[in-house]
Amino acid sequence: MRTITYRDALREAIREEMLRDERVFILGEDIAGYGGTYAVSKGLFEEFGEKRVRDTPLAEEVITGAAIGAALGGLRPILELMTVNFSLLASDQIINSAAKFHYMFGGQPQIPLVIRMPGGGGAQRGAQHSQMLETMYAHVPGLKVVTPATPYDVKGMLKSAVRDPNPVLFIEHELLYNIKGDVPDEGVEYTVPLDRGEVKRAGQHITIITFSRMLHVTMQAAEDLAKEGIDAEVIDLRCIRPIDIDLLVDSVKKTNRVVIAEEGWKYYGTGQGLAALIYEFAFDYLDAPIQHVHGADVPMPYSKSLERLAMPNKDAIVKAAKAIVPAVLAHT
Amino acid sequence: MAISNATLAGLTRTQLLEMHYMMSLLRRFEEKSAEEYTRGKIGGFMHLYIGQEAVGVGSITNLLPEDRVLSSYREHGHAILKGMEPRVVMAELFGKSTGCSKGKGGSMHMWSNELGVYGGNGIVAAQLPMAAGLAFAAQYQGLNNVTMCFFGDGAVDEGAFHESLNLASLWKLPVVYMCENNQYSMGMAVAKAWAVDSLMPRAAAYNMPGEQVDGMDVIAVYEAALRAVERARNGEGPTLLEIKTYRFRGHSMTDPAYYRTREEEHEWRNTRDPIGIFEKRLQEQGIATQAEFDQNDARATQVAEDAADFAENSPDPAPAELFTGVMVDNSTALSFRRERE
């Protein structure tokens, strides 16, 4: 094991998959000479050359459609869209082509495509550069949508995504690239599945379900709660389509209480979808209404003070948990 | 009167007669489709190729089995020309399990991996970026195949057209972009939608060769497509062809075509029918006879009838097909993965 950043873990995964399989190539805006907007692909152009590390024009619709075409033609593209916000320009190809073709054409075409894109707020990038749009894509049958939060998971899941025969939307977060975590040594092969969440902290009093960057906020909240005698179980979904419902139900059976913490907006989102699934499959095990911590229902403001108010934080999670864990339970 | 070994555009008499047969087949197939649509056997949107047969036949005649064809929603003809059995196309129109897409696609969504029929798109211009990507895959793998991408004049108005031509030219991709300019994007006349009166300035804007072609003359289409396909196969990059044609029917089955006059339609049908034009030329040049045309037409009618019978007698998709094939690995087909009850 060593400790490396999320960015380096991603790059290692891309590089190892490119070395493993000649069909794997990467394309995107400024990924070659520039090294990627978030420096994820730095050095890969020098190592693999123009054939396999392709700078593209600034044209999300065609590069996404071309990546789909390349996948149909037998390649394994990893497409980097500069941010999830720009993916809206490519959303026709993602939703009307990538998600539909396998089913609509009777199971014939396969689209083994990975689209990487970071989303999220917290860096004062304003309303058009701070969105969490994963929930929109998770609504659509035919896609896999994953949101790895740690260096270990991001490396293992990218490898799985490249090898997956389906289109995978690989949602990163702009504030995760510099976080560090334990990752097996280079050359030690491992993958992380694209349909399993993980208990990142075991606990008995309450289940806090989260994903992407909010995992780290939630882990801090769990530490605070522990100081007050509340033992929280933290589940990282890792993938939001499909949802690993068995893992959630098992946890709810144990704790009987649920907080869902996400950075995105409240309505019709991943959190509300999860809550509905838990009510559907584990209603009888719930001792309290599910609490939902989420981003403010506004376009993201620029001002640092306002942005801080718009982002869900540790205190909000602690407060939500305490609201449904009775004091008498907290010290058992 | 049987005819010599005269040739036209380097094509043998046998090839020319085959082209005539394919044009007849597309015509008869679409007429049969229209009939079945009005009988309620075919649902949804259906866009007929009648009037545009010379475009598909003239161009796809140049392709090899390993080449790929992508198209819009007016693609029954393209699929048949690339080798798909008319039965399989008709069964798809009927929504039957024997259709090329198992009845899940419908009129706008024909596919065959083996034949290189890569859809059938209901989204205008969606196939242009994918065609670039398929051509890129061929280039990347060192394969010699060509991607041919059909679209209508309406697709030219979409951003995807411009983005795709730019990328194809920039990367010198082996793709032929075939604009079937039938002069109306649904009800919108080209003159009201394009700021230019031809695609030639647009080919120039993306630094690729372009040609304007009479789409009612199958030989002219053949020759232009031949040049474009050879360029692509020789690694010389993409070509944009603007094939001027006319659909004899409405945009779709439900279109009464109020936006154009009956006189205009009659004029085209009576004087510019691509099959009639081709027959006249073959006869004038002493290559084929009316009897041979009649024979082709009878055979085409028979094949279209047979396709409809086959479709009619094919089973509906099994109910279990509803949840089959959402994902390649069916375990993750739903929005949540649940292994236990």
Is the pLDDT at B2 greater than 60? The verdict is no
- For B114-158, where are the alpha helices, taking DSSP H only? 127-141
Name the residue among A104, A110, A242 with its Cβ closest to that of B109.
A104
Choose the final residue of a domain: A183, A207, A231.
A183
The predicted structure's pLDDT at residue A327: 78
Q: What is the C-alpha to C-alpha distance for residues A78 and A59, in angstroms, rounded to an integer?
A: 16
Q: Do A73 and B102 touch (CB under 8 A)?
A: no
Assess contact for A171 and A212: CB atoms under 8 A.
Answer: yes
Choose the final residue of a domain: A183, A213, A228.
A183
Catalytic residue selected from A12, A17, A60, A233: A60
Q: Do B101 and A108 touch (CB under 8 A)?
A: yes
Encode pLDDT of A171-214 as tens digits. 999 999 999 999 999 889 999 999 999 999 999 999 999 999 99
Q: What is the C-alpha to C-alpha distance for residues A287 and A274, in angstroms, rounded to an integer?
A: 17
Catalytic residue selected from A16, A29, A129, A294: A129
Does residue A254 fall inside a structural domain?
Answer: yes
Does residue A191 fall inside a structural domain?
Answer: no
Q: Do A69 and B119 touch (CB under 8 A)?
A: no
What are residue A5's DSSP bridge partners? A180
What is the count of residue pairs from A and B with beta carbons less than 8 Å apart?
170
Q: Residue A332's pLDDT band (boundaries 50, 70, 90)?
A: low
Q: What is the C-alpha to C-alpha distance for residues A307 and A121, in angstroms, rounded to an integer?
A: 8
Does residue A102 fall inside a structural domain?
Answer: yes
Assess contact for B233 and B146: CB atoms under 8 A.
Answer: yes
Q: Do B167 and A97 touch (CB under 8 A)?
A: no
Does residue A189 fall inside a structural domain?
Answer: no
For A26, phi then psi, to 5°, come to -120, 145
What are residue A258's DSSP bridge partners? A207
Same domain membership, residue A204 and residue A177: no
The predicted structure's pLDDT at residue A184: 98
Same domain membership, residue A166 and residue A38: yes
Bridge-based pairing of strands A206-210 and A2-5 is unpaired
Encode pLDDT of B182-224 as tens digits. 999 999 999 999 999 999 999 999 999 999 999 999 999 999 9
Helix (H) or strand (E) holding A207: strand A206-210
Q: Token digits for A50?
A: 């123009």
Chain A contact present for B119, CB below 8 A:
yes
Q: How far is A241 from chain B (nearest CA, A)?
A: 5
Chain A contact present for B102, CB below 8 A:
yes
Is the pLDDT at A165 greater than 60? The verdict is yes
Is the pLDDT at B38 greater than 60? The verdict is yes
Rg (CA), chain B: 20
Assess contact for A155 and A183: CB atoms under 8 A.
Answer: yes
Contacts of B325 in chain A (CB under 8 A): 102-103, 106-107
Give Cβ neighbours of residue A221 (< 8 Å, ≥ 6 apart).
A208, A232, A261, A314, A315, A317, A318, A321
Same domain membership, residue A119 and residue A8: yes
Chain B residue with the nearest C-alpha to that of A276: B336
Helix (H, G, I), strand (E, B) or coil at A130: coil
Q: Do A70 and B136 touch (CB under 8 A)?
A: yes
The predicted structure's pLDDT at residue B333: 58
Chain A residue with the nearest C-alpha to that of B114: A108
Domains in chain B and their CATH numbers?
Answer: 13-332 (3.40.50.970)
Q: Token digits for A256?
A: 């009987």
Same domain membership, residue A289 and residue A146: no
Encode pLDDT of A233-261 as tens digits. 999 999 999 999 999 999 999 999 999 99
DSSP one-letter code for B157:
G
Encode pLDDT of B100-118 as tens digits. 999 999 999 999 999 999 9
Assess contact for B211 and B45: CB atoms under 8 A.
Answer: no
Assess contact for B186 and B249: CB atoms under 8 A.
Answer: no
Contacts of A242 in chain B (CB under 8 A): 332, 334-337
Mutate to test the interface with A, among B100, B140, B145, B206 (most CBs of A within 10 A): B140
Encode pLDDT of B246-291 as tens digits. 999 999 998 989 999 999 999 999 999 999 999 999 999 999 999 9
Q: Token digits for B199?
A: 């695609």
Query: Catalytic annotation on A46?
Result: no
Q: Do A246 and B337 touch (CB under 8 A)?
A: yes
Count of Cβ atoms closer than 10 Å to residue A199 Cβ: 14
Same domain membership, residue A218 and residue A112: no
CATH code of A251's domain: 3.40.50.920
Does residue A289 fall inside a structural domain?
Answer: yes
Assess contact for A53 and A24: CB atoms under 8 A.
Answer: no
Q: How far is A240 from chain B (nearest CA, A)?
A: 8
Average pLDDT in chain B: 95
Choose the final residue of a domain: A144, A159, A183.
A183
* ipTM over cut 0.90: yes
Q: Residue A329's pLDDT band (boundaries 50, 70, 90)?
A: confident
Q: Do A104 and B333 touch (CB under 8 A)?
A: no
Helix (H, G, I), strand (E, B) or coil at B237: coil
Q: Cα separations (Å) of B291 from B1, B143, B279, B281, B287?
A: 9, 43, 11, 15, 12
CATH code of A130's domain: 3.40.50.970
Nearest to B243 by CA among B183, B287, B294, B295: B183
Same domain membership, residue A235 and residue A95: no
Q: What is the C-alpha to C-alpha distance for residues B7 and A12, in angstroms, rounded to an integer?
A: 61
DSSP one-letter code for B192:
H
Q: What is the C-alpha to C-alpha distance for residues B206 and B224, in angstroms, rounded to an integer?
A: 19
Q: What is the C-alpha to C-alpha distance for residues A168 and A149, in angstroms, rounded to an integer?
A: 16
Does residue A89 fall inside a structural domain?
Answer: yes
Q: Residue A283's pLDDT band (boundaries 50, 70, 90)?
A: very high
The whole domain housing A115 covers 2-183
Q: How far is A175 from chain B (nearest CA, A)?
A: 27
Same domain membership, residue A225 and residue A170: no
Same domain membership, residue A150 and residue A285: no
Chain A residue with the nearest C-alpha to that of B99: A106
Same domain membership, residue A171 and residue A25: yes
| Residue whose token pair is 């793998």 | B141
Q: Residue B329's pLDDT band (boundaries 50, 70, 90)?
A: confident
Burial of B34 (0-12, 13-18, 19+ CB in 10 A): middle
For B160, phi then psi, to 5°, come to -60, -35
The predicted structure's pLDDT at residue B334: 66
Residues B71-78: what's their mean pLDDT? 98
Mutate to test the interface with B, among A23, A89, A95, A103 (most CBs of B within 10 A): A103
Helix (H) or strand (E) holding A183: strand A180-183
Rg (CA), chain A: 20
Same domain membership, residue A33 and residue A138: yes
Q: What is the C-alpha to C-alpha distance for residues A94 and A100, in angstroms, rounded to an integer?
A: 9
Is the pLDDT at B6 greater than 90? The verdict is no
Same domain membership, residue A204 and residue A84: no
Q: How far is B328 from chain A (nearest CA, A)?
A: 6
Mutate to test the interface with B, among A25, A48, A61, A135 (most CBs of B within 10 A): A61
Name the residue among B130, B324, B338 with its Cβ closest to that of A245.
B338
Does residue A77 fall inside a structural domain?
Answer: yes
**Counted domains in chain A:** 2
Q: How far is A177 from chain B (nearest CA, A)?
A: 28
Same domain membership, residue A238 and residue A282: yes
Chain A contact present for B247, CB below 8 A:
no
Chain A contact present for B326, CB below 8 A:
yes
Does residue A106 fall inside a structural domain?
Answer: yes
Q: What is the C-alpha to C-alpha distance for residues A166 and A76, in angstroms, rounded to an integer?
A: 10
Name the residue among A57, A107, A246 with its Cβ closest to that of B102.
A107
Query: Catalytic annotation on A129?
Result: yes
Give Cβ neighbours of residue B324 (< 8 Å, ≥ 6 apart).
A107, B330
